[in-house]
Structure 1
Amino acid sequence: MISSLTLVPSPLPLYTQIKDILRERILEGTYKPHHKLPSESEMSTLFDVSRITVRQALSDLQNEGLIFRIPGKGTFVAKPKAFQQLTQLEGFAEAMLRMGYEIYNKVISHKSVPASAIVAKKLKLETGTPVSEIRRVRYLNREPLSMEVTYLMEDIGERLRSFDLPTRDIFLVLENDFGIALGYADLQIDAMLADDDLAHQLKIEEGSAVLRMERLTHTAAGKPLDFEYLYFRGDAFQYRLQIARRAVDATAVPQNQAGDPLP
């Protein structure tokens, strides 16, 4: 519970101070996921502020995804979203296992299909060429988080049938078992609404927001190897990346307007 608090004099608005206090306790783990927070009236008394001030603080925290409200039941701490840094090429399981999550893959289907025009273009094949299609639902800590549809050359896909795909990452199999060095991937990320099948597989409501990624992975030699559609639950996952405004050239020499080096 939140002990009685008197907000200290500050140039920050009262609702911002309350928001910061609650955010800190959520992020440091004092308030665990699904912990029920005091009601607006209780917080109003605890912080000695109006309910409107408390409501504004809670509204901001909800917009940040740190809490959620259930009508008639109260306000609760949201479960932190799993995330993956887009700083290097690695499989989803690689990233999640490194962060201590439990991963399991449910293979929905593994079959040979004619390459669609899009798949053929990505893998540099003729349309209709047989390719392997692998559909999997990825479980994070035993809850469905994503569905992935992977397309590979048919011979590679057939070789994968003998491997334990429910527990192994395809990237690691390709590298460690097949001896294929991975090079880089082209990514395209957008959002969509879950259709009936996707909603069923991910256990979400039809029409829920889903994060979609198209990923084309190349070998170290630059040859297309693996084309995937990845669909992540919008309420449970996020990608993170850090970008610089411009590349910094450590060897650059300051110059004057005439282009001559400065003394």
Structure 2
Amino acid sequence: MSKSSSDYALPVNGKRTPAGVARLDPNSFVPLYHQLKEILKSSIAAGVWKANEMIPSENELAASYDVAVGTVKKALAELTREGFILRRQGKGTFVARPDFGRSFFRFFRFDLDQASDSVVPVSKVLFAGASQPPARVREVLRLSKRERVLQIKRLRAFNDLPLMYEDLYLPEKIFAGLDRIDISRELLYPIYDSRFNTPIIWADEFLEPRLATPEVAGHLCITPGDPVIFLERIAYSFEDKPVEFRASFGRGDRFRYHIELR
């Protein structure tokens, strides 16, 4: 059964507006398409539409907000470019979720044929609990001096071969209780979304070569001074809010970089 515009928490001819979401202002210096884009982003953040759920059609949105279809098209094009929605030819427009499941395999190769994008490396949690964040983590996650983090140290392995040692920091006020969840064979980002209503929308990732410290070498079963690849990731949820700081050390002998340019 299809949904009409009245089924959505959207303003219809200016009569109804979700809490915290502004109406379009034709007198504003901000272009109407940009105003509409921000309103739709806020609606997604508020849970009006869930992942993989279809949003109203271009004509419905145009009627609801009393704007031209061309304005709607431009707003949706921006949301598509930013990764918030997915346009499916002949089917409609859907809320998107980035697939971070392949990120691990983008950088590290395996000598076994059965390794594929669908395989989730086994995680051994070495530590999980509340802690005071280092200064850089506090700055990156925009935490006050009193706020604590949930810290997770884990080792990721494939067929008993340790490939990556990770140190993660999450705001405790958002992810309280995550340390009690078994993540040994689960990806974290679906858990963030389903259990804590905090989907990861995008991430910054930095890569550099380093030499293994005795601690890192011990975890990865290599020799101190061996080459490792250091990955730093800052992951963001809605409204560009940073919610995860992750420092990872991968074995240099299993490293491969791949990027597709079109």
TM-score of the superposed pair, with normalisation by structure 2: 0.55
Superposed displacement of residue 108, structure 1: 0.4
1: distance between equivalents of 2:187 and 2:137? Answer: 21
- 2:204 paired with 1:186: yes
User: Relative to total residues, which structure has the larger strand share, 1 or 2?
Assistant: 1
Counterpart for residue 220 of structure 1: 238
Q: Residue 206 of structure 1 aligns with which residue?
A: 224
Deviation at 1:243, TM superposition (A): 3.1
Checking the alignment, whether the CA contact within 8 Å between 1:93 and 1:103 is kept in structure 2 is no
Question: CA offsets per residue over residues 1-58 of structure 1, 9 Å max, x none?
Answer: xxxxxxxxxxxxxxxxxxxxxxxxxxxxxxxxxxxxxxxxxxxxxxxxxxxxxxxxxx
Q: Does 1:138 align with 2:148?
A: no
Query: Relative to structure 1, is the Cα distance of residues 98 and 159 closer, same or farther in structure 2, using a 3 angstrom cutoff?
Result: farther
| Structure 2 residue 124 is matched with structure 1 residue 106 | yes
C-alpha distance in structure 2 between counterparts of 1:130 and 1:214, whole Å: 20
- Cα separation, 1, equivalents of 2:208 and 2:99: 19
RMSD: 2.3
Shift of the 173–98 alpha-carbon distance from structure 1 to 2, 3 Å rule, reads: farther
Find the partner of 1:155 among 173, 197, 204: 173
Deviation at 1:238, TM superposition (A): 2.3
For the residues of structure 1 that align with 2:124 and 2:103, how far apart are their CA atoms? 13
CA apart distance, 1:179: 2.6
Q: Unmatched 5+ residue regions in structure 1?
A: 1-87, 245-263
Instruction: Tell me what 2:100 maps to.
Output: 90
The 5 Å alignment of 1:43-82 reads none
Structure 2: distance between partners of 1:100 and 1:171: 15
Counterpart residue number, 1:238: 256
Offset at residue 100 of structure 1 (A): 4.9
| Residue aligned with 2:257, SS | strand
User: Aligned equivalents of 1:196 and 1:176: distance in 2?
Assistant: 37
Q: How much has 1:172 moved relative to structure 2?
A: 1.4
Distance of 1:135 and 1:92 partners within structure 2: 21
What 5-or-longer segments of structure 2 have no aligned partner?
1-97, 107-114
Provide the rounded CA distance (Å) in 2 between the counterparts of 1:176 and 1:126: 26
Supply the distance in 2 between the matched residues of 1:104 and 1:95 (Cα, whole angstroms).
13
* 2:16 alignment counterpart: none
* Aligned partner of 1:177 among 179, 195, 210: 195
Residue number among 163, 178, 183 corresponding to 1:165 in the alignment: 183
Q: SS where residue 190 of structure 1 aligns?
A: strand
State which structure, 1 or 2, has the greater radius of gyration over its C-alpha atoms.
1
1:25 corresponds in structure 2 to none
How many residues of Structure 1 are paired with residues of Structure 2 in the alignment? Answer: 157
Q: Deviations over 1:101-154 (max 9, x none)?
A: 462100000121112110011101134631111000001122100001000011
C-alpha displacement at 1:165, in angstroms? 1.1
Kindly indicate whether the alpha-carbon contact (under 8 Å) linking 2:190 and 2:199 is maintained by their aligned counterparts in 1: no
State the percentage of identical aligned residues: 26
Q: How big is each residue's C-alpha offset from its partner over 1:133-186, in whole Å with a ceiling of 9 and x where there is no partner?
A: 100000112210000100001134432123111111111101233232221111
In the alignment, the residues of structure 2 paired with residue 191 and residue 94 of structure 1 have an alpha-carbon distance, to the nearest angstrom, of 16
